[in-house]
């Protein structure tokens, strides 16, 4: 399907991706999502395309990979167009029961995605993530802006690194939260934006649940309960608190180039995280409601 055959091409401004995204329409009226990346990303995008094919083969409701190739503008990636609404925009308009039910579904979908194994050549998780931790702690220490009580995150990480030992690894969506979900016009949850996919500890995938819990504690609780079939191990909570601490530390250096608004967002989020975890004294966050 040559990408120059489209009748219309409308730029999509939303999202943090470096890709250029368009809603394109064929002469026959069929819509697709067209993503265009720089040619340097060709290998990375080919792997993303192939892995999305693996996810689609599992029956996961998602933006389906259609075609991948090279064009004048770089690398193009054609995906199915989902007619629906951004999930995070409608989540808080739903009833408590609906929010929790969609959370259960999101957790079950994620569990399904995690059945795709990591390659045998994948580096051992403990060594890899410890390097990431060291880098994030150093970035935070070098950062001119600090969180109030940010040391609690560093202390928690250092006290719980041992939990990284012998963790299994699998395929990860890479950015699994309400901002990368849609509801189609049949009311079905759809997963989008796989462009940060990776391999790693399946439990690390929950590190973005902060965004879900801020929006809807019921959805976030349902997601955890759906994933674990309502039998959540305590080690999950301990590790998740480590992953969230690590992410939170790096959020402030990340936010600085985007200006004061993003800095304030991350400061407020860090404050809220510390409240959930009682200054990292309780690994089970206060937003969690068990089944």
pLDDT of residue 279: 98
Phi, psi (5° rounding) for residue 109?
A: -60, -45
C-alpha distance from residue 48 to each of 67, 149, 185, 194, 253 (Å):
12, 38, 27, 7, 27
Whether 1 has a pLDDT exceeding 60, the answer reads: no
CA distance 183 to 102: 10
| Whole-number average pLDDT of the chain | 95
pLDDT bin (cut points 50, 70, 90) of residue 5 is: confident
* Residues 154, 151: Cα–Cα separation, whole Å: 5
| pLDDT at res. 205 | 98
Q: CA separation (Å) from 90 to 106, 179, 181, 226, 274?
A: 15, 11, 11, 21, 27
Q: What is the pLDDT of residues 165-190, one digit of tens each?
A: 999 999 999 999 999 999 999 999 99
Give the predicted TM-score (pTM) of the model: 0.93
| Domain annotation for the chain: domains and CATH numbers | 3-81 (3.30.200.20), 85-276 (3.90.1200.10)
Per-residue pLDDT at 17: 73
Segment 223-226 long-range contacts (CB within 8 Å, at least 24 positions apart): 223/103, 223/104, 223/106, 223/107, 223/110, 224/103, 224/107, 224/288, 225/103, 225/104, 225/107, 225/290, 225/291, 226/103, 226/104, 226/105, 226/106, 226/107, 226/108, 226/111
Could you report the per-residue pLDDT of 208-221, keeping only the tens digit for each? Answer: 999 999 999 999 99
| Cβ–Cβ < 8 Å for 48, 194 | yes
130, containing H or E segment: helix 125-142
């Amino acid at each position: 399907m040559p990408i120059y055959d489209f009748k219309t091409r409308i730029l999509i401004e939303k999202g943090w991706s470096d890709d250029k995204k368009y809603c394109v329409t064929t002469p026959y009226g069929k819509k697709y999502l067209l993503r265009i990346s720089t040619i340097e990303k060709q290998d990375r995008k080919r792997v993303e395309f192939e892995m999305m094919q693996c996810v689609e083969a599992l029956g996961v409701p998602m933006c389906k990979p259609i075609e991948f190739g090279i064009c004048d503008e770089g690398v193009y990636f054609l995906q199915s167009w989902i007619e629906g609404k951004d999930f995070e925009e409608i989540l808080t308009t739903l009833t408590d029961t609906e929010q929790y039910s969609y959370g259960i579904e999101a957790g079950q979908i994620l569990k399904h995605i995690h059945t795709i194994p990591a390659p045998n050549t994948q580096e051992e998780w403990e060594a890899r993530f410890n390097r990431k931790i060291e880098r994030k702690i150093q970035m935070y220490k070098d950062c001119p802006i600090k969180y109030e009580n940010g040391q609690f995150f560093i202390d928690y990480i250092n006290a719980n690194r041992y939990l990284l030992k012998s963790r299994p690894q699998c395929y990860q969506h890479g950015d699994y939260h309400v901002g990368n979900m849609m509801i189609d016009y049949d009311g079905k949850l759809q997963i989008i934006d796989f462009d940060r996919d990776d391999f790693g500890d399946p439990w690390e995938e929950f590190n973005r649940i902060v965004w879900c819990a801020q929006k809807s504690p019921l959805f976030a609780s349902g997601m955890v309960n759906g994933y674990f079939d309502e039998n959540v191990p305590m080690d999950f909570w301990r590790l998740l608190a480590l992953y969230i601490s690590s992410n939170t530390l790096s959020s402030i250096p990340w936010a600085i180039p985007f200006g004061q608004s993003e800095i304030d967002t991350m400061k407020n989020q860090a404050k809220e995280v510390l409240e959930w975890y009682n200054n990292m004294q309780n690994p089970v966050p206060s937003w969690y409601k068990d089944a």
